[in-house]
Amino acid sequence: MAELSTQEKYKFKRTLEELGKKRGQGTELLSIYIPHDKQISDVTAQLKDEVGSASNIKSKSTRTNVQGALASVLSRLRYYRMPPENGLIIFCGAVRISGDKTDMESIVMEPPEPVLSYSYQCSSEFYIEPLEEILKDKKTFELLVLDRKDAAVGLLIGKRIEAVRHLTSNVPGKQRKGGQSAARFSRLRLIAINEFYKRIGEAASTVYLKGDWGDFRGIFIGGPSPTKEEFVKGEYLHYALQKKILGVFDVSYTDESGLYELVNKLSQSMDDMEIAKEKKMINRFMGEVIKENGLASYGEEFVRENLKAGAVDTLLLSEDLKMERISRRCGNCGREETITIAADGDEQDHKVCKCGSTLEITGRRDIVEELSEIAEASGTKVEIISTESEEGEQFFNAFGGIAAILRFRV
């Protein structure tokens, strides 16, 4: 299966968020997962049986809604001779709008990954957990930074860094203590170093061996020279993890901050990693921000102006932008306006026209999708920036999550 682009992931995520908000008055929302190798005729037969079973539901409204949803699904299935390549998922039911009001909704989708098994669910909410799993970046890397005093073990899961263990040693300094001979002191120090390396190896190996990793890629090791090279050469890791060493890097810190430093270092050489791509894009943008007359723009108003002028090379949008573009028209004077509001904001503050009449909503769009559409019309690349990485979070907080790298200044 081809990997989803950042835009496709964003749209898919928003679809699931909307599905997750929907509720039924009772257990009357249907979620049906149909794999590619399932015969449509078999699904139709089962759903017809469910129609009969639904007649036993005591609540009249729930019974009517479930039977109505089943009838709607059966009607949809008539258009399919067989499920698509990745299978078929149907969500259908009477969704609560407000109070006792409901609206029959039906959503049919071909998922980005294959449906593995047939499933029929009837609940007060749609069953979306299998689809949420698709969005999780399952690529996992182990991180290890060490010197002869400290070590830290962590994980890089997708774009998220997690510190797992921190270890400290009892290795004495290089100077000779008390009346010990230099040779004896040196031997004791080497023994202490070896024991500390063993503890580090056991800690790192335990994380790997006891974790339930769906897509474990390997381990990156960082630290000063010659410590990290000694550790790797000494094969202190479990043999299965030792074979998965992907790279060794120079880092200055060996605590939790060293894990972040290690990821920054490896991002410079591992171009195929999602976090590396994102870091490079944000660093490129920041490089333009600090330049005098640099090719950077940020803030919705300025970015829109540059998009209209065709001046944007790459549009950067945060996945955490919960904003909508609202179009409204006054039925009295004909005045029209388009504004941006928070997706969960109160529209009442903006509803009265200057003439005193009410402005009616004529359209609404998710702002990421709306800006992406404008960008693509002029051949502009679009990148959706996550907030899982430190850089992504800073981009959202410092620049509002809307920015651009320009082709030229206007």
Per-position pLDDT tens, the chain of length 410: 456 788 888 999 999 999 999 999 889 999 999 999 999 999 999 999 999 999 998 999 899 999 999 999 999 999 999 999 999 999 999 999 887 888 999 999 999 999 999 999 999 999 999 999 888 777 899 999 999 999 999 999 888 899 999 999 987 776 655 555 777 777 888 888 999 999 999 999 999 998 877 789 999 999 998 899 999 999 999 999 999 999 999 999 999 999 999 998 888 777 667 788 888 899 999 999 999 999 999 999 999 999 999 999 999 999 999 899 988 888 888 888 888 888 776 555 557 778 878 888 888 899 999 999 999 998 999 999 998 888 899 999 999 999 999 999 98
CATH fold label, 286-406:
60s Ribosomal Protein L30; Chain: A; (3.30.1330)
20-135: what CATH class?
alpha beta
CB atoms within 10 A of CB 281: 19
Q: Taking a C-beta distance cutoff of 8 angstroms, is the pair 130, 20 a contact?
A: no
* Residue listed under structure tokens 């990745």: 86
* Domain parsing of the chain, residue ranges: 20-135, 139-172+191-270, 286-406
Cβ(316)–Cβ(383) below 8 Å: yes
Residue 229's contacts (CB-CB under 8 Å, 6 or more residues apart) are 248
Enumerate residues 6+ apart whose C-beta is below 8 A from 37: 83
Same fold, 20-135 and 139-172+191-270: no
Report whether 316 contacts 289 (CB < 8 A): no
**Alpha-carbon span 147 to 151, nearest angstrom:** 6
pLDDT at 395: 94
Gap between the Cα atoms of 46 and 254, Å rounded = 59
Radius of gyration of the chain, Cα coordinates, nearest whole angstrom? 29
Among 107, 108, 61, which residue's Cα sits nearest to residue 80? Answer: 108
Q: What is the pTM of this model?
A: 0.74
Residue 345's pLDDT is what? 62
**Which CATH superfamily does the domain covering 139-172+191-270 fall into?**
eRF1 domain 2 (3.30.420.60)
DSSP characters over 247-287: EEEE-S--SHHHHHHHHHHHHTT-TTSHHHHHHHHHHHHHH
Q: What is the pLDDT, as a whole number, of residue 1?
A: 47
- Closest residue by Cα to residue 330 from 354, 365, 297, 294: 354
Q: Which is it for strands 119-123 and 24-34: parallel, antiparallel or unpaired?
A: antiparallel
